Structure 1
Amino acid sequence: MRNIAVISDTHGTVPDRLLTHLSEADEIWHLGDVTRPDILIPIQNLGRPLIVVNGNCDPRGTWPETRQLEREGCTFHLQHRPPPIAIPSNDAILFGHLHRPIDETMDGIRILNPGAITGPRHGSASSFAWLRFPEPGKWTWKVTAL
């Protein structure tokens, strides 16, 4: 089973307890607001593929604004800010920015937010999510508190 750790809004901080979780990932997706690219070094040192999109607090042009990724026959759109509308031909849209976990459906497409590593809001805890693929064409999403 492939395990992808999805994180967002680290805002210059990568807690050791997050690195412990990330060490179990096959791949890591960061949904923006890294703020300082050097804080990704401990994550990169884990030796897992790391995909990042630019957030509103990141230096402009450091990473792509969006990414379209296919894994195990499923398509995911990554961006930092919440989508104003569902983007067709995706199984899910993953975003950060709001600092709280979200799992909703818009026009038949899952809209997912893993929450924030730094500065959770609306009573949520610091969190990230696991995107898992138990079999090709099937995936699950689980938010995990730090």
Structure 2
Amino acid sequence: MKLMFASDIHGSAYWAKKVLERFEEEQADYLVLLGDLLYHGPRNPLPQDYNPQVVIKLLNSIKHQIIAIRGNCDSEVDEMVLEFPITADYNIIPLKNRKLMASHGHLYNDQQIPSSLIEGDIFIFGHIHVPILKQQDGVYILNPGSTTLPKENHPNSYGILNHDQFKVKTFDGKVYKEIALK
């Protein structure tokens, strides 16, 4: 199973379109959205082409291929317009030989790893807008960075998990960072 991860779209129609273009080109089975989909948030600038209504239409167009969790900028009213659930604080995705836990990062993160994860499992989160690929206490800690508002001079990015390889990619499809999962 090939998974694509995108975090922190923050209502940008421009970057939501880019996410869907890459999703199609990557031919991933599911798009895992790590939260902060529609609202830019009070601490962020307005993103490029801020238009939550367009983002709603774009994401709803592939609703059967989306797995989503709630970010700190997402609310119950967002779920009223999106045609897929987004109010879960985390999702567990069983993989062949491990489990993957996806969360936004404001509740669980690399400083607060869920105790239910064991060696070889994967924890992926967004929220900080910075890509992370590391192993900590036997658990793989991954962050695809931000599609819309990257920080610390990182590029706009997304993640791909295919077999036992995780790659953070830029929107031209180039690998920015990668890690092999053993």
Q: Which residue of structure 1 aligns with residue 169 of structure 2?
A: 144
Structure richer in strand, relative to its length: 1
1:42 to 49, 55, 58: 58
Whether 1:8 and 2:33 are equivalent positions in the alignment is no
Q: CA RMSD in A?
A: 2.1
Does the 8 A contact of 1:86 with 1:107 survive in 2? no
- Based on CA coordinates, which of the two structures has the bigger radius of gyration? 2
Percent identity of equivalent pairs: 26
* Structure 1: runs of 5+ lacking an equivalent: 134-138
* Structure 2: runs of 5+ lacking an equivalent: 40-51, 80-85, 172-182
Where in structure 2 are the equivalents of 1:1-146 lying within 5 Å?
2-14=1-13, 15=15, 16-23=17-24, 24-35=27-38, 39-46=55-62, 48-60=64-76, 62-81=86-105, 82-87=109-114, 88-89=117-118, 91-133=121-163, 139-146=164-171
Does the 8 A contact of 2:6 with 2:19 survive in 1? no
Count residues in correspondence: 140
Structure richer in helix, relative to its length: 2
**What is the TM-score with the length of structure 2 in the denominator?**
0.69
Does the 8 A contact of 1:28 with 1:48 survive in 2? no
Does the 8 A contact of 1:132 with 1:141 survive in 2? yes
**What is the TM-score with the length of structure 1 in the denominator?**
0.85
Does the 8 A contact of 1:35 with 1:59 survive in 2? no
